[in-house]
């Protein structure tokens, strides 16, 4: 089962690297120091996880199964977001493109960040390492601040009213539950699935 974890984790890492260089556009509005610090923390997560995968044994079957499930959900959610979205700006961009409200964007406003958090959380959970928990906390804070900054830019754009409606219906990182139902509401029409 550790081989399956390794394959899934490597697939996630390769997907993130591909997206960083070929999907997300780097913009002059992205502070270089923020991007470099983020890269260093992500590299720490990746390297530490790979070391633990290479040297760990004796993990319980339920923990390994949970790890496989979380890595698989992270990977699939990430690629669902890729296929749904057009090219997007990297965190802290000053550019506003079209607002995507379909696919995973109907579930959460920031599916890329959710997929990353799931992967990093899974690593911390599997190996229960202080460095993985610390880097996870940093990355969650980074994604939250990035999301707030991105949303601030959108709320100052011509898409402000549309995005305010979207915010009312769709949670940032967790699905919004309304009236005891988890049905997703179309943020443009207000209709429920």
pLDDT in tens, 59-85: 899 999 999 999 999 999 999 999 998
* Token code pair at residue 70: 């979380």
Helix (H, G, I), strand (E, B) or coil at 128: coil
Residue from 23, 107, 24 nearest 73 by CA: 107
Average pLDDT over the chain reads 86
Q: Where are the domains of the chain?
A: 1-21+45-86+98-193
Mean pLDDT check: name the lowest of 22-36, 58-72, 90-104: 90-104
Which is more confident, 23 or 186? Answer: 23
Alpha-carbon distance of 152 to 93, in angstroms, equals 11
For the entire predicted model, the pTM comes to 0.85
Under CATH, which architecture does the 1-21+45-86+98-193 domain have? Up-down Bundle (1.20)
- Which of 25-29, 54-58, 122-126 is predicted least confidently? 25-29
Helical H segments across the chain, by residue range: 2-22, 32-55, 61-84, 111-127, 130-155, 160-169
Distance between CA 145 and CA 102 in Å, rounded? 23
User: Which pLDDT does position 26 carry in this prediction?
Assistant: 65
């Amino acid at each position: 089962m550790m081989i399956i974890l390794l394959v899934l984790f490597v697939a996630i890492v390769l997907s993130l690297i591909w997206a960083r260089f070929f999907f997300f556009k780097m913009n002059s509005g992205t502070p270089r120091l923020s991007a470099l610090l983020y890269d260093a923390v992500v590299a720490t997560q990746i390297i530490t996880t790979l070391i633990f995968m290479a040297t760990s044994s004796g993990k319980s079957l339920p923990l390994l199964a949970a790890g496989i499930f979380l890595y698989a959900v992270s990977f699939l959610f990430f690629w669902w977001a890729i296929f749904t979205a057009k090219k997007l700006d990297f965190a802290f961009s000053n550019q506003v493109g079209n607002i995507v409200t379909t696919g995973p964007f109907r579930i959460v406003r920031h599916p890329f960040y959710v997929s990353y958090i799931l992967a990093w959380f899974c690593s911390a959970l599997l190996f229960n390492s202080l460095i993985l928990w610390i880097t996870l906390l940093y990355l969650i804070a980074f994604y939250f601040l990035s999301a707030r900054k991105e949303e601030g830019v959108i709320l100052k754009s011509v898409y402000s009213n549309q995005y305010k409606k979207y915010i009312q219906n769709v949670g940032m990182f967790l699905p919004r539950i309304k009236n005891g139902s988890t049905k997703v509401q179309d943020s443009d029409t207000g209709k429920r699935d």
